[in-house]
Structure 1
Amino acid sequence: MELAGKVSLVTGGAHRVGKALALALAQAGTHVVVHYGSSEEEAHQTADEISALGVAALPVQADLTDLMQIEALFKAVKDRFGRLDVLVNSASNFLKQSFDSIRPEDWDRAMQVNLRAPFLCTQLAARLMQIAHRPADQPAAIINIADLMGMQPRRNFVQHGVSKAGLIHLTLTTAYELAPDIRVNAIVPGPILAPAGMDPSSEQWRRIGERVPLGRAGHPDNVAEAVVFLARNDYITGAVLPIDGGEHLIGSPT
């Protein structure tokens, strides 16, 4: 699909990896809707950077645990642009907890943000994507940002891993359901960005990067390049693409 002049929506697009995805799609020529939850200042800053690239930017706030707010998000997209061509489900809840300390509300929050919200966004996006007239060989694109923990178990991340495994399977089922008009793929990042509170120049982060076959941590731009590739390539659907330096080859850490 030729991306120039198209419209993209990136959930969680205000900062960290989501910002890199939003900027990459803008650099590819798409207008970008920057969804955010609570990071209003960062969202508007990202929107300003997108606008400076010569495309339109629209920051929109929505709580992705609330169906009415998700519906309002897609209404804002339709009202402003009248179409949607690319959806990136990037917003995520990430919480480290021991198995015994997980409360029902912790479990529910992970499932709501990491699985239920991408499902609802996919459903609403599909309806909006089908409004636009595209050549048969240029289907719209949905890209889910999963996690290696959805493929490999890891201690203290039970609800996160299960929710991301569900997102991977949602990718496969919706790729089949929505073909041929919409392609759905997933990206599975590995050590791309140091967790909040960890210094990316720290010895701890360096050791995490050294553990993977390529011997180093990645960068948000590695994921962003893959998003643009999957948005453009009109003959890929149902793919689950690790961007992890080969970490998926070595199994779960002990």
Structure 2
Amino acid sequence: MNLEGTVAMVTGGAVRLGRALALGLAEAGCDLCIHYRTSASAAEATAREARTLGRRSATAAADLSDPGQIDQLFEAFDANFDRLDILVNSAASFERIPFEEATPADWDAAQALNLRAPFLLTQRAAARMRAVADRPGSLGEPRAPGVIINLSDMAGVAAWKGFTPHGVSKAGLLHLTALSARELGPDIRVNAIVPGPILPPPRETGDETDWRRKGGRVPLRRTGDPEYVAHAALFLAQNDYVTGATVHVDGGEHLLPGGRNG
């Protein structure tokens, strides 16, 4: 897919990894809808930076754990854009909860945001992607498929202790990626990225010595950078013959028994 002139929605696109994904797409030629929940000023700052690259950019607030607000998000999107080519499901929670202490509310909260929301977003995005009848292909084909990219994490691949509700939701997202790729092809491609030690988890101090130690446990012996994940997203957006794939951007962490949590 040639990304020049396309439109992307990035959930959780205001801060951290979502911001890097949004700006990476903008640099490649995408106009942006930047979703946020509470980070309004950060979302607008990301939008302004995208505009300096010559891209149209709008922000939209929604609590994605509420299906009604997902509908409102797309209403806001439709008010600003007349096409959707790329959806990046980046917004997520990351809660450490001891197995014995996890409550039904903890379970439901993880599934609602990390699994149900990407499913509902994918449904609504697919309808808009299929409405684009003349999308140019990157190699001269008459049209290229729309693209959905899901962000999972290592807790969905390895059996991390202390992350059961979260890990199950992220494992489910990987299976949803495969199912969506089968259901929505050939019009729409669906792939996943599993980042490794790219950024310290939210609410952690990110102590430099401890963070470097975590990176030293993976085969490449270092932590990564959000730009590495943005590069993977660009590959998945541009390569029209990849669907149902999971790309690990983790320095080889997935090769370790139990990952860094094991």
Residue 13 of structure 1 aligns to a residue whose secondary structure is: coil
Give the deviation of 1:197 after TM superposition. Answer: 3.6
Decide whether the 8 Å contact of 1:78 with 1:128 is kept in 2. Answer: no
**What RMSD over aligned residues (CA atoms) do the two structures have, in Å?**
1.1
Tell me which residue corresponds to 1:51.
Answer: 51
Tell me which residue corresponds to 2:119.
Answer: 119
Structure 2: how far apart are the matches of 1:116 and 1:69?
Answer: 13
Tell me which residue corresponds to 1:178.
Answer: 184
What whole-Å deviation, never above 9, does each CA across 1:118-172 have from its counterpart, x for those lacking one?
0000000000111111255510100000111111011101111100000000000
Decide whether the 8 Å contact of 1:111 with 1:163 is kept in 2. Answer: yes
Structure 2: how far apart are the matches of 1:78 and 1:228?
Answer: 24
The equivalences for 1:53-92 within 5 A come to: 53-92=53-92
Residue 117 of structure 1 aligns to a residue whose secondary structure is: helix
Match of 2:227 among 200, 218, 221: 221
What whole-Å deviation, never above 9, does each CA across 1:199-253 have from its counterpart, x for those lacking one?
4452211111000000001111110111111011100000011110001011214
1:245 aligns with 2:251: yes
Tell me which residue corresponds to 1:108.
Answer: 108
Tell me which residue corresponds to 2:11.
Answer: 11
Structure 2: how far apart are the matches of 1:224 and 1:199?
Answer: 24
Match of 2:211 among 181, 205, 217: 205
What whole-Å deviation, never above 9, does each CA across 1:25-55 have from its counterpart, x for those lacking one?
0000100000000111111111111111100
Amino-acid identity (%): 52
Segments of 5+ residues of structure 2 without an aligned counterpart are: 137-141
Decide whether the 8 Å contact of 1:2 with 1:232 is kept in 2. Answer: yes
Segments of 5+ residues of structure 1 without an aligned counterpart are: none
Tell me which residue corresponds to 1:29.
Answer: 29
Tell me which residue corresponds to 2:139.
Answer: none
Structure 2: how far apart are the matches of 1:91 and 1:222?
Answer: 18
Decide whether the 8 Å contact of 2:94 with 2:202 is kept in 1. Answer: no
For these two proteins, the number of residue pairs brought into alignment is: 254
Task: Spell out structure 1 runs of 4+ moving beyond 6 A.
Answer: none
Residue 23 of structure 1 aligns to a residue whose secondary structure is: helix
Structure 2: how far apart are the matches of 1:149 and 1:201?
Answer: 21
Structure 2: how far apart are the matches of 1:79 and 1:37?
Answer: 19
Decide whether the 8 Å contact of 2:156 with 2:169 is kept in 1. Answer: yes
Structure 2: how far apart are the matches of 1:226 and 1:56?
Answer: 23
Q: TM-score, normalised by structure 1?
A: 0.97
Structure 2: how far apart are the matches of 1:17 and 1:148?
Answer: 15
Structure 1: how far apart are the matches of 2:114 and 2:207?
Answer: 28
Structure 2: how far apart are the matches of 1:56 and 1:105?
Answer: 39
Q: TM-score, normalised by structure 2?
A: 0.94
For 1:216, give the aligned amino acid.
R
What whole-Å deviation, never above 9, does each CA across 1:47-79 have from its counterpart, x for those lacking one?
111111100111000110111210111122222
